């Protein structure tokens, strides 16, 4: 019998990180970001990613054009892939499973705010960096991972499962507005509108626009805008340098003329945006670690 000329299809080796990412995102879509099962899947994924970065890459410092900040990239030991910029002073490559669990649980009472910010950044960067080393050009899955991660942390601390759409009042048609996370605490309490973004650039105006729509439907003060952003870094491939792309003048205009964001939190805080909270129109930009000590005040209503 002659051998078949049909090519035998050999299955590709499984990718534990992407398999775990798929389990996480499918579970979050099915049951929401609050349940502890989602935290367990996040813990496993972060663990896999950090171990992969430790064993399969080496770090190379980049030329930083951001005053006061140092950046590096992870470079694959096999092949030529390299990661997005990593803040050297915020990335704790040795963060273990217990540290990841502490961040995900919100039980961070014994951590200083700077240590907490470092661990938050490490957990947030773990999947994006690992994904950069495994595949080029994937912009979607790091953003989805960040959304699930921040959604889970905030939902766990608030003790409320968020929604991702809201009904639009209308005399003639039934309609809904797709939004980022909305946290509702009950009658007489404000609701939190929480966009999450890996980075912003010009499209950040959407967060202020959604906030304006919510205020137009329900009145000022009923929804508090609370945006959480990872970083604003950009790696210049030609020179191997890192810059921060910031638009402070536009942010001030959005805050004055569109709507007011109640809090904007960063995992890697741009200095140019930090200054926005000091002068009119007072855009309150802070490190995300601050949320862990002021979440009760935010839930109870507007604060200075």
Among 295, 176, 161, CA closest to 228: 295
Q: How many CB atoms lie within 10 A of CB 279?
A: 9
CA quadruple 25, 158, 168, 146: dihedral positive or negative?
negative
| Per-residue pLDDT at 3 | 44
Same domain as 248, residue 120: no
Same domain as 203, residue 128: no
* Residue 139 forms part of a structural domain: yes
CA distance 171 to 102: 48
Same domain as 188, residue 231: yes
Query: From first to last of its 304 residues, what are the pLDDT tens digits of the chain?
Result: 444 444 444 333 458 999 999 999 999 999 999 999 999 999 999 999 999 999 999 999 999 999 999 999 999 998 889 999 999 999 999 999 999 999 999 888 889 999 999 999 999 999 999 999 998 888 899 999 999 999 999 999 999 999 887 777 665 666 777 778 999 998 888 899 999 999 997 689 999 998 998 888 888 888 999 999 999 999 988 888 999 999 999 999 999 999 999 999 999 999 999 999 999 999 999 999 999 999 998 888 763 3
Q: Is the peptide bond before 272 cis (omega within 30 degrees of 0)?
A: no
Same domain as 285, residue 163: yes
* Residue 232 forms part of a structural domain: yes
Same domain as 213, residue 274: yes
Residue numbers of the domain that contains 180 = 158-300
| Per-residue pLDDT at 272 | 92
pTM of the predicted model as reported, rounded to 2 decimal places: 0.91
Residue owning tokens 């048609």: 173
Among 192, 189, 187, 186, CA closest to 162: 192
Same domain as 205, residue 107: no
* Residue 167 forms part of a structural domain: yes
Q: How many CB atoms lie within 10 A of CB 186?
A: 7
Same domain as 131, residue 261: no
Tell me the two tokens of residue 243: 């810059």
Looking at residue 136, what DSSP letter applies? S
Q: Are 71 and 64 in contact (CB under 8 A)?
A: yes
CA distance 258 to 246: 19
Nearby residues of 231 by Cβ (< 8 Å), 6 or more positions away? 85, 87, 198, 199, 266, 267, 268, 270
Q: Which burial class, exposed, middle or buried, applies to 65 when counting CB atoms under 10 A from its CB (0-12, 13-18, 19+)?
A: middle
* Residue 217 forms part of a structural domain: yes
* Residue 4 forms part of a structural domain: no
Query: In CATH, what number is assigned to the domain containing residue 198?
Result: 3.40.91.80
CA distance 190 to 165: 16
Q: Are 226 and 265 in contact (CB under 8 A)?
A: yes
* Residue 55 forms part of a structural domain: yes
Same domain as 290, residue 163: yes
Same domain as 80, residue 210: no
| Per-residue pLDDT at 174 | 66
Considering 111, 135, 152, which residue would you say is the last residue of a domain? 152
* Residue 5 forms part of a structural domain: no
* Residue 257 forms part of a structural domain: yes
Same domain as 219, residue 277: yes
Number of domains in the chain: 2
Considering 110, 131, 152, which residue would you say is the last residue of a domain? 152
Name the pairing type of β-strands 57-64 and 71-76.
antiparallel
Please tell me the total number of residues recorded for the chain in this structure. 304
| Per-residue pLDDT at 233 | 96
Q: Which stretches within the chain are classed as H helix?
A: 16-31, 36-56, 97-105, 113-134, 140-158, 205-218, 248-257, 271-274, 291-300
Considering 152, 169, 193, which residue would you say is the last residue of a domain? 152
Tell me the two tokens of residue 168: 């639009």
Q: Count CA within 13 A, CB hemisphere, residue 215.
A: 15
Q: Are 84 and 230 in contact (CB under 8 A)?
A: no
């Amino acid at each position: 019998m002659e051998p078949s000329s049909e090519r035998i299809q050999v299955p590709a080796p499984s990718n534990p990180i992407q398999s775990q990412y798929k389990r996480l995102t499918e579970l979050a879509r099915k049951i929401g970001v609050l349940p502890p099962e989602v935290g367990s899947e996040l813990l496993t994924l972060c663990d896999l990613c950090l171990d992969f970065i430790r064993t399969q890459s080496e770090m190379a410092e980049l030329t930083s054009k951001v005053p006061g900040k140092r950046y590096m990239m992870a470079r694959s030991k096999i092949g030529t892939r390299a990661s997005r910029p990593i803040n050297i002073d915020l990335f704790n490559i040795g963060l273990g499973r217990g540290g990841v669990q502490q961040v995900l649980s919100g039980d961070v009472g014994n951590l200083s705010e700077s240590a907490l910010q470092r661990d938050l950044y490490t957990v947030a960067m773990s999947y994006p960096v690992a994904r950069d080393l495994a595949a080029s050009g994937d912009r979607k899955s790091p953003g989805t991972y960040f959304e699930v991660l921040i959604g889970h942390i905030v939902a766990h601390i608030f003790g409320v499962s968020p929604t991702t759409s809201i009904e639009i009042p209308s005399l003639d048609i039934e309609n809904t507005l797709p939004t980022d996370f909305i946290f509702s605490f009950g009658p007489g309490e404000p609701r939190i509108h929480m966009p999450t973004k890996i980075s912003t650039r010009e499209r950040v105006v959407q967060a202020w626009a959604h906030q304006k729509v919510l205020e137009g439907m329900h009145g000022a003060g009923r929804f508090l805008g609370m945006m959480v952003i990872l970083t604003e870094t950009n790696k210049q491939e030609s020179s191997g340098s890192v810059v921060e792309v910031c638009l402070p003048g536009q942010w001030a205009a959005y805050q004055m003329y569109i709507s007011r964001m109640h809090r904007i939190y960063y995992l890697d805080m741009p200095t140019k945006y930090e200054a926005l909270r000091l002068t009119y129109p007072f855009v309150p930009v802070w490190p995300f670690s601050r949320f862990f000590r002021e979440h009760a005040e935010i839930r109870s209503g507007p604060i200075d």
